[in-house]
Structure 1
Amino acid sequence: MDGYKVAELFSGAGLMGGGFKAAGFRSVFAAELDGKAVQTYNKNIEPVAEKWDVSEVKCDLKYDVLVAGPPCQGFSTLGRRDPKDVRNALSLKVFDWAEKHRPLVVVIENVPQFLNSDYCRELKERFEKSGYDSVSWLLNAADYGVAQNRKRSFTIFSLIGLPNKPQPCKERVTVKEAFSGLPKEANGENFHISPTPSELALARMKLIPENGDKRDLIKKAPDLCPPSWIKMGAQAVDVWGRMGLEKPANTIRCSFQSASKGRYLHPTENRVISLREGARIQGIPDDWSFVGDRTSIARQIGNGVPVPLAKAVALSITDLLKRRSSY
């Protein structure tokens, strides 16, 4: 392997870094404010992550590719989409790092709505003035070997030409395939951990069929439902929803161990999915170890880019770098 070097901003627990590592890159630095995520990164990628505020550009770094996943809450449709959200402006810090270190390629990952933001337009103007060409992709993780529908945007800035968009896989991975080999019981081994449901929660779970959700409870046992469910009716239908075995899961988020937050019930068992099952849906290898309590680990898993999707992007960047070196 050519040994291309990558640095990361907003690195999280290293899922994007894991994809680049799988594509042959070597991480030389990663900046992240979550201390537990930093420890997880250092255990599984390279011991180069630091608890670091990206507002301060680190000196004396040399790398070929800069990767950044700025906070998406201010852009996401799940949030308020507040244009004044102070977290939005953090995306502009990526340019400061690129201007300082002049990497050949910069990759910014975010929710699809980021592409329509003023911040994205501002970044493209700044990078263009600095000599970078750009291209943006909208990619669904389910098209790249991930058992999950998760759409993300990738904006690539390059000094050496533009990469080709990753080619989708021919077949999609199902939840059944992702969970293959794991005990149905969350036995606590290797982060196969799921919270024990309360008496009320268990009673609800027993009445929800595969692919079912709170609507089944409203029909079968309205006495088990809070008044707000009856009032809302068909809204938020993924709440208290079971995953389907024969298709990819919905997007896994930080709160995937709470049945009230989405379609996070195991397809057949009366529990929410375990940490390891969530990791499987994110394409995280089983030999990964996590640092933190259950809530922290779920956040580390749910916040990241699925590893196979990150690898697909990294391989496209590798091809670009190889084309450049062959001239």
Structure 2
Amino acid sequence: MSAPTHLDLFSGAGLFSAGLVQAGFEPVLAVELGAEAVASYRRNVSRCAVHGSVADFRGAPKVDVVIAGPPCQGFSTLGRRDPTDVRNALGLLILPWVRAADPSLVVIENVPPFLRSPQWRELAAGLRELGYADVVTWELDALDFGVPQRRRRAFTVASRLGPVAQPAPTTATPRTASSALFAPGLDKADPMHVWPTPKGIAADRIALIPPLGDKRDLLRGHPHLCPPSWSKIADQATDVWGRIDPDKPSNTVRCNFQNPSKGRYLHPTENRTLSLREGARLQGVPDSWCFEGKPLPAARQIGNGVPIPMAHAVGESLRAALAGMGVTALAA
């Protein structure tokens, strides 16, 4: 029996696709502009990934589902939220692919503020013009699906099959960061278990930050290590130069999670940032995966992805909707 098929646009390294594969889908084409991410997709998910821009529409195979994760930087509350960011309109490039692929379902993942943008309204109108009468939105948190991380994401679901059930949480008790960071299996020989070696003032700062601490501890006890700007914004950005609380889910893993100035990304007990492997674990990525490229692009691939357990839950809802309408012969 054949599996339902999907096309992945702005695929990144393939974390969203990997969740659908776990739910029984087969990827037939993935399109991604980042060469390292394409190599990672081919290594860990499927050889179907191609290096290119979604803007360069070249036709598309017929599939059951189209998924897409257009850039979110212009909408994210963790960034500048620049309404003039040229990347904000990239989601509209999905429409020619949807027209050609003629899927029963379309799923677009982004940050929640995307749903309140004029670009989302234009995209939703375009999907309705293509015959998707049901265009609904879900706002899901990764920690409800067994991911040891607080990460809210928005999913726009366009359907020709009627309403698609929103995934129900798969766990009542959120996993803690320690379940990923201190789980067995971390190996010094693992090429992904690497982090930038702190030097100079960065090393001095990290060594003085206590468990659960952050830049405020440095301001109080070691002001000579703090730039003047920290005093001016003492009550803002309090997670920077912060240690992860091992007894709670981590903060959102961003693409620069190996930079302590960008958030609470210091190891709970060791004087370093997270390793690439630890960041991947917080995204629900199996230890069997390796991301291609140098550490910076590898970290970007990890932080930009949809946590795999969350993607799996979304895939299960899509698969159930397809099965309910008898659209395709699903794999057992």
TM-score by length of 2: 0.94
In the alignment, what sits opposite 2:76? 76
In the alignment, what sits opposite 2:182? 180
1:187, distance to aligned residue in structure 2 (A): 2.8
Instruction: Judge which range, 241-250 or 94-103, deviates more.
Output: 94-103
Cα separation, partners in 2 of 1:73 and 1:60, compared to 1, 3 Å: closer
Q: What is the CA–CA distance in structure 1 between the aligned matches of 2:190 and 2:124, rounded to whole Å?
A: 46
Instruction: Judge which range, 121-130 or 17-26, deviates more.
Output: 121-130
In the alignment, what sits opposite 1:170? 172
Cα separation, partners in 2 of 1:326 and 1:58, compared to 1, 3 Å: closer
Structure 1 consecutive aligned stretches of length 4 or more whose deviation exceeds 6 Å: none
* Equivalent residues of 1:74, 1:88 under 8 A apart: yes
Letter in 1 for 2:311: A
Find the residue that maps to 1:20 and give its secondary structure.
Answer: helix
Instruction: Judge which range, 86-95 or 203-212, deviates more.
Output: 203-212
1:182, distance to aligned residue in structure 2 (A): 4.6
Instruction: Judge which range, 126-135 or 241-250, deviates more.
Output: 126-135
Q: What is the CA–CA distance in structure 2 between the aligned matches of 1:32 and 1:242, rounded to whole Å?
A: 33
Letter in 2 for 1:30: A
Deviations 1:272-321 (A, max 9, x none): 01000000000001000111001110011011111111111111001101
Q: What is the CA–CA distance in structure 2 between the aligned matches of 1:326 and 1:103, rounded to whole Å?
A: 10
Find the residue that maps to 2:326 and give its secondary structure.
Answer: helix
1:34, distance to aligned residue in structure 2 (A): 0.3
* Equivalent residues of 2:60, 2:100 under 8 A apart: no
Q: How many pairs were matched up? A: 326
1:130, distance to aligned residue in structure 2 (A): 2.2
1:326, distance to aligned residue in structure 2 (A): 8.1
Q: What is the CA–CA distance in structure 1 between the aligned matches of 2:234 and 2:161, rounded to whole Å?
A: 53
Cα separation, partners in 2 of 1:326 and 1:235, compared to 1, 3 Å: closer
Percent of aligned pairs with the same residue?
50
* Equivalent residues of 1:207, 1:220 under 8 A apart: no
1:237, distance to aligned residue in structure 2 (A): 0.4
Identify which of structures 1 and 2 has the higher relative contact order when contacts are C-alpha pairs closer than 8 Å and 6+ apart.
2
Q: What is the CA–CA distance in structure 2 between the aligned matches of 1:258 and 1:183, rounded to whole Å?
A: 24
In the alignment, what sits opposite 2:87? 87
Structure 2 segments unaligned to the other structure (5+ residues)? none
In the alignment, what sits opposite 1:63? 63
Cα separation, partners in 2 of 1:183 and 1:81, compared to 1, 3 Å: same
1:84, distance to aligned residue in structure 2 (A): 2.5
1:78-157 correspondence runs (5 A) = 78-132=78-132, 133-157=134-158
Q: What is the CA–CA distance in structure 1 between the aligned matches of 2:257 and 2:233, rounded to whole Å?
A: 22
Q: What is the CA–CA distance in structure 2 between the aligned matches of 1:196 and 1:269, rounded to whole Å?
A: 12
1:205, distance to aligned residue in structure 2 (A): 1.7
Q: What is the CA–CA distance in structure 2 between the aligned matches of 1:273 and 1:280, rounded to whole Å?
A: 10
1:301-316 correspondence runs (5 A) = 301-316=302-317
Structure 1 segments unaligned to the other structure (5+ residues)? none
Q: What is the CA–CA distance in structure 2 between the aligned matches of 1:31 and 1:263, rounded to whole Å?
A: 32
1:79, distance to aligned residue in structure 2 (A): 2.7
Q: What is the CA–CA distance in structure 1 between the aligned matches of 2:79 and 2:222, rounded to whole Å?
A: 31
Q: What is the CA–CA distance in structure 2 between the aligned matches of 1:182 and 1:127, rounded to whole Å?
A: 46
Deviations 1:259-282 (A, max 9, x none): 111100001111101000000000
Q: What is the CA–CA distance in structure 2 between the aligned matches of 1:183 and 1:272, rounded to whole Å?
A: 19
Q: What is the CA–CA distance in structure 2 between the aligned matches of 1:263 and 1:182, rounded to whole Å?
A: 23
Question: What is the aligned-residue RMSD (CA, Å)?
Answer: 1.7
Deviations 1:100-158 (A, max 9, x none): 22111000000000101111111221222222111100001111110110111000001
Instruction: Judge which range, 125-134 or 148-157, deviates more.
Output: 125-134
Find the residue that maps to 2:109 and give its secondary structure.
Answer: strand
TM-score by length of 1: 0.96
Find the residue that maps to 1:191 and give its secondary structure.
Answer: coil
* Equivalent residues of 2:68, 2:94 under 8 A apart: yes
Q: What is the CA–CA distance in structure 2 between the aligned matches of 1:270 and 1:194, rounded to whole Å?
A: 11
Letter in 1 for 2:238: V
1:77, distance to aligned residue in structure 2 (A): 1.9
